[in-house]
Amino acid sequence: MERHQSAALVAPILTARDAGLVGCRGCGRVWPQGTPTCGRCGARLVPVDVRGLQAVWAWLIAGLIFYVPANLYPMLLTKTLTGHLENTILGGVIELLAHHNYGVAAIVFGASIVIPIGKFIAIAYLALAVGNERRAGGHRHLRLYEVVEFIGRWSMIDVFVVAILSALVQLGFVATINPGPAAASFALSVAFTMLSAQSFDPRLIWRGPPDTAGNK
Amino acid sequence: MISLDDLVSAQDRLIACPQCDALHLVEDLTETESASCARCGTLLIAPRARSFLHVVALSFTAMILMVGAVFFPFLKISTKGLSHDSSVFGAAMTFSDGLLAPLSLAVLLMIVALPVLRFTALIYTLWPLANGRAPWPQAARAFRLAEATLPWSMAEIFVIGTAVALVKVAGLATVSLGPAFWAFCALIIVVALKNSFMSKWTIWNAISQPR
Ligand SMILES: [Zn+2]
Ligand SMILES: [Zn+2]
């Protein structure tokens, strides 16, 4: 690792907001508060404000709504010599377990059930925690936010599995796999939750109580 | 201690951390130094010329791998004398009939179109800068596009999906991996490397100050 240095912190810790400035989330350049767009990269300048949380909640609720049919309807329609099978997300996991594929069952269970539900809870928790202004959450909340941002995309894996299986397994009467209706609602649910996480402004995590953070 | 008046006059040399809003005063860096946020550790400034060249080189590599990954077959299945192989394009098109048609488009976007768009935009933005020349016109727009596509480029997730699919059909038939599968695996590594070399502040700084 190289030494990290040379961007001296403006002592002790002053935020752009405290200094009456607004920082660009696209490129880091600062501008006087009230400037509408960044003159360097053209991004819209969004002041650090809890009102931004409304978008977070809206996308989160949309994601939750689509997550329900995603679990009720089948993801995969399988036709084999022995019969016709419809698998929901949970049904697929149980089938993998029955065939002793514990590792893959764990991946699918994690990506399609644990991650989406964990993400709903984590985003809701962050939005509630920064919305009530008693104290700044700091590193713990930032870590949680980073995990949510990083891991959320991985839920899409089940949609890809359905696509791959349906494209591959087209063996006439021996075996045919087709996508079920849940694939679309699951994809939408993941996309909406990703939008929810993206609308969350991580700078809110560091905004302390209002009396010390200035009264702007 | 730096006073507020100094801050306003030093606006050009301030950088606000995009993750936590902490203000930093930018000092001149040598070619090999980098800077991270003192509070939350986000990479703020990356070494300039070297990192641009890396990103351009890796984007080119990724583009070439992508062509292979999309058009060669990536999986082949056979049982009882019947066989069938599929390319990535074929996988995306499985949703193409009926109600699921929009999903087909979305899958193509996420695993092919958006990654390619991102590589192209990055090369366009950084190629002249890596060679110490002034940025090409619309470089700002191109780089903004590259940033926006980042979370939706999912080529690497697709590869893990392939592995899961393999296990699921293992009992049903014999499955073999095509060349495209390995191209995709290489692609994941290249993309991860590329992202670790990027600093938004550094790139924007170079775009806005033609040399
Ligand atoms: Zn900007
Ligand atoms: Zn920071």
Say which of A10, A184, A202 has its CB closest to residue B100: A184
Note whether A156 and A99 are same-domain residues.
yes
Residue of B nearest to A45 (CA): B18
Note whether A114 and A90 are same-domain residues.
yes
Note whether A43 and A104 are same-domain residues.
no
Domain with A70, as residue range(s), is: 49-208
Q: Phi/psi at B155 (nearest 5 deg)?
A: -55, -40
ipTM above 0.85, yes or no: no
- Partners of A20 on chain B (C-beta within 8 Å) are 4, 8
- CB A74, CB A88: distance < 8 Å: yes
- d(CA A110, CA A93) in angstroms, rounded, equals 10
B6 inside 8 A of chain A by CB: no
- Partners of A169 on chain B (C-beta within 8 Å) are 77, 84, 169, 172-173
B45-79 pLDDT per residue, tens: 876 666 788 888 888 888 888 877 777 777 777 77
CA of A35 to the centre of ligand 1 (A): 11
- CB B85, CB B68: distance < 8 Å: no
Say which of B18, B106, B164 has its CB closest to residue A108: B164
Note whether A26 and A56 are same-domain residues.
no
∠ CA A20-A22-A28, nearest 5°, is 135
Residues 6 or more apart whose Cβ sits within 8 Å of residue A37: A43, A44, A45
In a domain, A216, yes or no: no
In chain B, where the domains are located: 1-45, 52-200
Residue in B173, B161, B190, B171 with CA at minimum distance from that of residue B74: B161
pLDDT of res. B4: 55
Lowest mean pLDDT among A100-109, A186-195, B141-150: A100-109
Say which of B2, B162, B201 has its CB closest to residue A28: B201
- CB A92, CB A177: distance < 8 Å: no
User: Does B36 score more than 80 pLDDT?
Assistant: yes
CB atoms within 10 A of CB A46: 14
| Number of Cβ pairs < 8 A linking chain A and chain B | 264
- CB B157, CB B21: distance < 8 Å: no
A50 inside 8 A of chain B by CB: no
Note whether A157 and A176 are same-domain residues.
yes
In a domain, A214, yes or no: no
Note whether A103 and A141 are same-domain residues.
yes
Probe site for chain B from A22, A164, A190 (most B CB atoms < 10 A)? A164
pLDDT of res. A133: 59
Count of structural domains within chain A: 2
B82-132 pLDDT per residue, tens: 777 777 777 777 777 666 777 788 888 888 888 889 889 989 988 888 887
Ligand in nearest proximity to the CA of B19: 2
A214 min Cα distance to partner chain B (Å): 13
Are B103 and A171 an interchain contact pair (Cβ–Cβ within 8 Å)? Answer: no
Say which of B20, B44, B45 has its CB closest to residue A205: B20
Beta partners for residue A83, in sequence order: A80
Kindly calculate the radius of gyration of chain B based on its CA atoms and give it in whole angstroms. Answer: 22
Kindly calculate the radius of gyration of chain A based on its CA atoms and give it in whole angstroms. Answer: 23
- d(CA A11, CA B3) in angstroms, rounded, equals 10
Note whether A37 and A62 are same-domain residues.
no
Note whether A152 and A96 are same-domain residues.
yes
Note whether A14 and A64 are same-domain residues.
no
In a domain, A76, yes or no: yes
- CB B66, CB B74: distance < 8 Å: no
In a domain, A213, yes or no: no
User: Does A4 score more than 60 pLDDT?
Assistant: no
pLDDT of res. B98: 65
User: Does A163 score more than 80 pLDDT?
Assistant: yes
User: Does B163 score more than 80 pLDDT?
Assistant: no
User: Does A212 score more than 50 pLDDT?
Assistant: no
CA of B146 to the centre of ligand 2 (A): 22
Mean pLDDT confidence for A132-155 = 78
Note whether A57 and A104 are same-domain residues.
yes
Note whether A99 and A177 are same-domain residues.
yes
For residues A59 and A215, the model is more confident at A59
- d(CA B95, CA B90) in angstroms, rounded, equals 10
CA of A186 to the centre of ligand 1 (A): 34
pLDDT of res. A124: 92
- d(CA A182, CA A196) in angstroms, rounded, equals 21
B182 min Cα distance to partner chain A (Å): 16
Q: What is the DSSP string of B66-128?
A: HHHHHHSEEEEEEETTEEEEEEHHHHHGGG-SGGGHHHHHHHHIIIIIHHHHHHHHHHHHHHH
